Structure formats: structure tokens, C-alpha cells
């Protein structure tokens, strides 16, 4: 009797499929079962990136979030709904692996960097074999898109989720050299105020859909007041020691 299959968390990189690893490309093109997260009614960014790469017989498993921005993250229902959702997704994938089949889980960016796959990994580890394929992160694609190095010499780089309270954002922004702010979306106003308070606004850049066809790179001061896409990153480049 054959053993269980393996669940592969496959990093897709920042969006340009030419930036995927060779291993990621091979696993995606040969997968019999492909799972990916998406918002209800949407194709999902991960699935969009691999469009045209899947085999004709690949079985797709769309894992639709029960909630995204409809409930504030501090509301207890938010964690309750997502916890049950991740448990259900993990059980579905574990059942496929237990039957001896491999599953490729598509992950934007790197699976272990602010990714939903981490929540599956925590529930699957020890139950079935799980392997992770690392990738170029979205922030790497973003600072490369600006054409400016993100760190120099002894610069300290800080990565912040924009979901933090405004005072916390401002405090941490003031206490670093290079800065990356993730999970922007509807938090852009809060991020802009925190950058102003910390004295970093004039040096900040906004990068939307880094490395993708719809990429947009602009100084944050020129970005206007609109809500930005979730796939946005704010950067402040370091200016540290150099020869």
C-alpha cells in the first residue's frame, strides 16, 4: 500500500511568473490537485498568476474566505470564522493526501511570509507530509520596481502590517532606517498619517501590483487619497553607510 501524498505550499513570487523558481514551475505544471485561496466571486490572485500553466486534468480546489474586510480584525467573530475555515480547508487537503495524492497549494509571494498557507501548515504538520517551496517576496518585487536599493550598510529594515494601530505604526516608523509596510488596502489613510507623524512621508513610495502588468510606482505624496489595492506596499528606502 502506498503512503500518503505530500501537500506542497508553493510560492509564486510577487506576480510575474518568470520570477517563480524552477521547482515551483515544475510542481504547478505537473500537479493533479491544485488548491488556492480566493475571495468569494473572484478568481483569486494566485490562480490568475498561473493561468495557462495547469495541466488539462488538474483538479482545482478553490478555498473561499468566509470574511475579508467585512468584519474588523479585532472583532472576535473574525478569528472564529477564519479558524473554522482554515480547519475545514486543512481537513479537505489532508483527506486527499491520505488517499495517496499530492496537492499543490498556490501561495502569492513566499508561503511563510504573511501568507494564508501558514495557517494550513500549522494544522497539517504531523498529519501528512508538508513541504514548502520558498519564493521571491512581494516586497522584493516592490523595492526593485522603484529602482532604488532598500538598504545600505548598517541600515535596519522594519516590516510592518498596516493593520497595526496608528500610534504603533508611527512609533515603529520613527525607529527604523528602511521601512516596508504591507497589507495596505483600506489602511492607506492611517499609513499616511503615521508616516506624517513620524516624519517619513516625504520619502515614502507606493508600489501597487509589483512586477505585474498593472504595476504602478509613485511617491506616496502623489498617490492621491483613494483606497489602494490590497496588493500594495509602501516603502521608505534606507540611506545608511556606503563606501
- DSSP assignment of 56-72, as one string? TTPEEEEEEES-SSSS-
The verdict on 126 and 144 lying in the same domain is no
- Rounded-to-integer distance, Cα 182 and Cα 177, Å: 16
Asked, for residue 15, whether it belongs to a domain, the answer is yes
The verdict on 195 and 96 lying in the same domain is no
Q: How far is CA 120 from CA 7, 37, 92, 105, 145, in A?
A: 10, 11, 11, 10, 31
Which CATH number is 192's domain given?
3.30.950.10
Measured over the CA atoms of residue 217, residue 221, residue 224 and residue 226, the dihedral's sign is: positive
The verdict on 50 and 36 lying in the same domain is yes
pTM of this structure: 0.91
Go through the chain and tell me how many residues it has: 243
Burial bucket for residue 72 (CB in 10 Å: 0-12, 13-18, 19+): exposed
The verdict on 166 and 117 lying in the same domain is no
pLDDT interval class at 95 (50, 70, 90): very high
Q: pLDDT tens digit string along 139-190?
A: 999 999 999 999 999 999 999 999 999 999 999 999 999 999 999 988 999 9
Report, in angstroms and rounded to the nearest whole number, the Rg of the chain calculated over CA atoms. Answer: 19
Question: What pLDDT does residue 225 have?
Answer: 78
Which CATH number is 61's domain given?
3.40.1010.10
Range of the domain at 163: 138-236
Q: At what angle do helices 117-124 and 76-98 cross, to 10 degrees?
A: 60
The verdict on 159 and 42 lying in the same domain is no
The verdict on 66 and 44 lying in the same domain is yes
The verdict on 84 and 152 lying in the same domain is no
Percent of the chain with pLDDT over 90: 85
Question: What pLDDT does residue 229 have?
Answer: 81
User: Mean pLDDT of all residues in the chain?
Assistant: 94
- Rounded-to-integer distance, Cα 222 and Cα 207, Å: 12
Q: Is the pLDDT of residue 68 over 80?
A: no
Q: pLDDT tens digit string along 1-59?
A: 579 999 999 999 999 999 999 999 999 999 999 999 999 888 999 999 999 999 999 99
The verdict on 123 and 151 lying in the same domain is no
The verdict on 178 and 227 lying in the same domain is yes
Last residue of a domain, one of 133, 162, 188: 133
Q: How far is CA 188 from CA 43, 180, 214, 222, 226, in A?
A: 24, 13, 19, 13, 8
Question: What pLDDT does residue 136 have?
Answer: 96
Last residue of a domain, one of 74, 100, 133: 133
Q: Is the pLDDT of residue 70 over 70?
A: no
pLDDT interval class at 241 (50, 70, 90): confident
pLDDT interval class at 69 (50, 70, 90): low
pLDDT interval class at 231 (50, 70, 90): confident
- The total number of structural domains that make up the chain: 2
Last residue of a domain, one of 100, 133, 166: 133
Measured over the CA atoms of residue 47, residue 49, residue 50 and residue 51, the dihedral's sign is: positive
Amino acid at each position: 500500500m502506498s503512503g500518503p501524498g505530500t501537500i506542497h505550499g508553493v510560492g509564486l513570487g510577487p506576480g510575474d511568473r518568470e520570477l517563480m523558481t524552477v521547482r515551483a514551475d515544475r510542481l504547478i505544471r505537473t500537479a493533479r490537485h491544485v488548491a488556492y485561496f480566493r475571495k468569494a466571486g473572484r478568481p483569486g490572485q494566485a490562480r490568475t498568476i498561473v493561468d495557462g500553466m495547469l495541466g488539462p486534468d488538474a483538479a482545482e480546489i478553490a478555498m473561499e474566505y468566509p470574511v475579508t474586510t467585512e468584519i474588523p480584525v479585532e472583532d472576535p467573530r473574525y478569528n472564529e470564522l477564519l479558524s473554522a475555515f482554515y480547519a475545514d480547508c486543512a481537513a479537505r487537503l489532508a483527506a486527499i493526501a491520505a488517499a495517496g495524492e499530492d496537492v499543490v497549494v498556490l501561495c502569492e509571494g513566499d508561503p511563510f511570509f504573511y501568507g494564508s498557507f501558514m495557517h494550513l501548515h500549522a494544522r497539517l504538520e504531523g498529519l501528512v507530509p508538508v513541504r514548502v517551496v520558498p519564493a521571491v517576496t512581494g516586497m522584493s518585487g516592490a523595492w526593485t520596481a522603484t529602482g532604488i536599493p532598500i538598504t545600505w550598510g548598517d541600515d535596519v529594515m522594519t516590516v510592518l502590517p498596516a493593520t497595526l494601530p496608528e500610534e504603533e505604526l508611527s512609533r515603529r516608523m520613527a525607529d527604523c532606517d528602511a521601512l516596508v509596510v504591507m497589507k495596505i488596502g483600506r489602511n492607506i489613510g492611517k499609513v499616511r498619517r503615521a508616516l506624517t507623524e513620524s516624519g517619513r512621508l516625504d520619502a515614502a513610495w507606493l508600489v501597487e501590483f509589483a512586477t505585474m502588468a498593472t504595476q504602478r510606482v509613485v511617491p506616496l505624496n502623489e498617490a492621491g487619497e483613494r483606497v489602494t489595492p490590497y496588493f500594495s506596499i509602501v516603502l521608505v528606502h534606507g540611506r545608511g553607510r556606503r563606501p
